[in-house]
Amino acid sequence: MRDIEITNLETLPGKTITQHLGMVQGNTVRAKHVGRDIMAGFKNIVGGELRGYTELLTESRDQSIDRMVDEARGLGANAILNVRFSTSSISAGASELYVYGTAVVVR
Work out whether strand 79-91 and strand 17-31 pair parallel, antiparallel, or are unpaired.
Answer: unpaired
Whole-angstrom Cα distance, residue 31 to residue 96?
9
pLDDT at residue 52 in the model: 79
pLDDT at residue 31 in the model: 85
The CATH number of the domain holding residue 28 is: 3.30.110.70
pTM of structure: 0.85
| 38-74 exposure pattern, b = at least 16 Cβ within 10 A, e = fewer | eeeeeeeeeeeebebbeebeeebbebbbebbbebbbe
Nearest to 99 by CA among 12, 23, 2: 23
Dump pLDDT digits (tens) for 29-73: 998 765 555 555 555 666 778 787 888 889 999 999 999 999 999
Range of the domain at 55: 5-106
Whole-angstrom Cα distance, residue 72 to residue 87?
21
Q: Is 50 helix (H, G, I), strand (E, B) or coil?
A: coil
* Tally of structural domains, the chain: 1
